[in-house]
A and B are shown apart, each in its own frame.
Chain A
Amino acid sequence: MTTKPLLEARDVTKRFGAVDALRGASFQIFPGEVVALMGDNGAGKSTLIKTICGVYAPDSGEILFEGRPIGGWHPKAVQALGIETVYQDLALAPDLDTPANLFLGRERLKGGLLGALGVLDKSSMRAEASRVLTDLSVKIKDVNAPVNNLSGGQQQSVAVARAVTWADKLVIMDEPTAALGVPQTQAVLALIERVRESGRSVILISHSLPDVMQVADRIEVLRLGRRVAQLVTTETTEEQIVGAMTGAWTQEVAA
């Protein structure tokens, strides 16, 4: 790992009233890497992610993206850097079809007068959507059907595909497989690998050790608002990870 990190959090603190959500948390991810962010409930995973995407501003510490400090930026400015988040609860519009969901909030308009009137360029969006889905090998049974007709796995695939469409650099996934069955989980994990193959980095928040072991290059563990371990998946056992999450084992260099 001699290259510069794509994204780095250094000693980030964040307080909510009397609660210290982050007490000097650090995090690193390199280009083309899948890093699992693990930790028990309340360890600060979600707070750290929300601080990275601009939902919260850090009280102290730094967030560096490609060496540039982005802590406290507006979420839209962070998105514009090529960072997208897939939320746990999907955030799709269930009554809209797949292309409409991929382009939600970023609808493409026709050129000329029609575009000035706000007329959508549906065919171009449909073509782009099918290109993205093909690239990711996602097969949607009927892209013109409302997404609530799709299975949970397919809906999650649409959500991931949307993030990938707009994220040039980094996709953050908050428990993408939490609500899924075994085959759908495998589909999403395969999707994560294809995102990595496309050269983008993925931060994967997950409680599922098997998922993490299967797909992550590295694992960073948070406990009580601090990083307690930086592990390379191939050199790590599940016991070590659980130990780090529960506090039975701490890696001295990590903090």
Chain B
Amino acid sequence: MTTDTLDATDTVAAPARRRLKVPRLLGSATDITLILILIVAVFAVLDFSSFFTAQNFTQILINAALLLVMAVGATFVLITGGVDLSVGSVLVFSGVIAGEVMQWLGGEGWGVSIAGIAAALLAGTAWGCVNGLVITKLRVPPLIATLGSYGAAQGLAQIITNGNDLKDVPSELVDTIGFGRVFGIPILVIIALVVALIGGLVLWATRYGRRTYAVGSNAEAARRSGINVDRHLLKVYAVAGMLAGLAGILSFAKFGTTTLAGHATDNLNVIAAVVIGGTSLFGGVGTMIGTVVGTLIPATLANGLVIVGLNSFWRDFAVGVVLVAAVYLDQLRRRSRSSR
């Protein structure tokens, strides 16, 4: 296109090719990974012997595992340009359903445990489908649709249990998911990392992932090019719900209780983690590596602040600052990129 030579100004993308390999792998998560490394370095300097140990890092991962499982689903949701506020309630609801099913089946044994896991996944998926249908069929904005199921799922969980936490977890689940380890790595952490790995591969390498970006980037363009946008959104919310259901059974096994009152702010923590990880609230942009890093930052802050002797309430303050800083950095990068 010889006549298009006046476009010499849009070479902004060219320097990207000259960058190192590692930043390219991390993509938009590069800045935030540096921040995580910085946080780790600061705590390591302040109290190396307590903080910088394999045991402590494992503890951080255990604390982040539940949030990470939900954040994987939320990454897909946010990339479509939506939001899911219902995750914490769906976690509780799914735990309750799993608890009731397992109690009803006798409460012990592998068969009962597997039925419980299936029940939790189904319950979560069901709420995800409700979210997806309300958003695509009734055209209720995701913020309101999932705020509705946030209340509804929490309410139903309380109604079913009459407000009393279920506490009967089969010992098989406690011994494996709850506290079991393989090669010294907690099974809970392995599950969360496998979920993140699969989610990352799906997002990066498959048609499902590609269409998730397309829908969030320009839903009308996706529609015109023959993508069934509504069906894709339904699938995305269903998967997010299923992962919240998985987090429900993991939480039940880990804590030995359905923690009815313990997940009211999970939704915001999940969104904060995903957004810190570089996923855009406006859709179309995001990576799973970013989400993993974004989940680890609050967990590392919480852990490190206690170790260096500060009140853990400082975590909330620090996460708030990091969240705003991450979005600000993202906006800066975007502005410099799209100014042509």
Contacts and interface: CB of A to CB of B under 8 A. Distances in A.
Interface stretch (A6-14, A33-41, A151-159, A233-241): A151-159
A228 B11 CA distance: 47
Q: How large is the interface on B (under 10, 10 to 19, 20 to 34, 35 or more residues)?
A: 35 or more
A119 B205 contact: yes
Given A137-B1, A139-B1, A100 B210 contact: yes
B36 interface: no
A73 interface: no
A148 B10 CA distance: 10
Contact of A104 (B6, B222, B337): B222
Contact of A145 (B4, B13, B208, B227): B13
Contacts of B210: 96, 100, 107, 120
Contacts of B207: 107, 109, 118-120
Given A93-B218, A142-B17, A187 B225 contact: no
A120 B206 contact: yes
B110 to A, nearest CB: 29
Contacts, number: 117
B268 interface: no
A187 B5 CA distance: 10
Q: How large is the interface on A (under 10, 10 to 19, 20 to 34, 35 or more residues)?
A: 35 or more
Interface string A117-143: 111101000000000000001110110
A149 B214 CA distance: 16
A76 B4 CA distance: 33
B217 interface: yes
- Dominant SS at the B interface? helix
Contacts of A76: 226
A106 B225 contact: yes
Interface string B119-148: 000000000000000000000000000000
B206 A141 contact: no
A87 B210 CA distance: 22
Q: Which of B6, B211, B224, B225 gathers most chain A CB within 10 Å?
A: B225
Contacts of A105: 214, 222, 225-227
A157 B10 CA distance: 15
Q: Which of A93, A122, A138 gathers most chain B CB within 10 Å?
A: A93
Interface in B204-247: 205-208, 210-211, 213-214, 216-218, 220-222, 224-227
Contact of B225 (A104, A122, A151, A153): A104
Contact of A91 (B213, B224, B337): B224
Contacts of B7: 141, 150-151, 153-154, 183-184
Contact of B217 (A95, A137, A141, A183): A95
Contacts of B13: 141-142, 144-145, 149
A92 B284 CA distance: 12
B78 interface: no
Interface string A179-192: 00101101100110
B340 interface: yes
Contacts of A107: 207, 210-211
A119 B207 CA distance: 6
Interface string B3-19: 11111011111101100
B224 A141 contact: no
B260 interface: no
B85 interface: no
A145 B225 contact: no
Nearest to A147: B217
A106 B222 CA distance: 11
B311 interface: no
Interface in A157-210: 157, 181, 183-184, 186-187, 190-191
Contacts of A94: 217-218, 284
Contacts of A191: 1
A190 B3 CA distance: 9
Given A93-B284, A96-B214, 6 more contacts: A87-B224, A120-B207, A144-B13, A145-B13, A183-B7, A184-B7
26 contacts: A76-B226, A79-B226, A91-B221, A93-B284, A94-B217, A95-B284, A96-B214, A96-B284, A100-B213, A104-B225, A106-B225, A107-B210, A107-B211, A109-B207, A118-B207, A120-B205, A120-B206, A137-B1, A139-B1, A149-B337, A150-B10, A151-B7, A151-B9, A157-B4, A184-B4, A187-B1
Task: Please list the 9 inter-chain residue pairs (A to B) with the smallest Cβ-Cβ separation, ordered nearest first.
Answer: A105-B225, A145-B13, A95-B284, A93-B217, A105-B226, A95-B217, A142-B13, A91-B221, A118-B206
